Amino acid sequence: MAEVLMFAAARQIAGEAARDIPGSTVRGVLDSAVEQYGAPFADVLAVSRIWINGRSLGRTEDSPCSDIDEIAVLPPISGG
């Protein structure tokens, strides 16, 4: 189980800033998050950057993770 930190649209959809979510890989954790939060969360994930412990993963979501890891979901933010 890793702690998933959610920002911007991901936080808004989930209705919370963080949650411990089960999975042994980043992909497994994110799949579990989609099961929990639904299709709108999947849509946000498709355009988000994913970081683990402060490092960008790019799209290598098969990285292993454990209960001491933090996975951050960082959607693009628009502003002006």
11 against 60, higher pLDDT: 11
pLDDT of residue 61: 73
Q: Does the pLDDT of residue 19 top 90, yes or no?
A: yes
pLDDT winner (highest mean) among 10-14, 50-54, 76-80: 10-14
CB burial readout 56-67, b (16+ within 10 A) else e = ebeeebeeebee
> What predicted TM-score, i.e. pTM, was given to this entire model?
0.90
> Out of 3.10.20.30, 3.40.1410.10, 3.30.420.140, 2.10.210.10, which CATH number does the structure's domain 2-74 have?
3.10.20.30
Residue 80: pLDDT over 60: no
Handedness of CA 18, 15, 12, 57 (dihedral sign): positive
**Pairwise CA distance, residues 28 & 15, whole Å:** 21
Residue 28, pLDDT above cutoff 70: yes
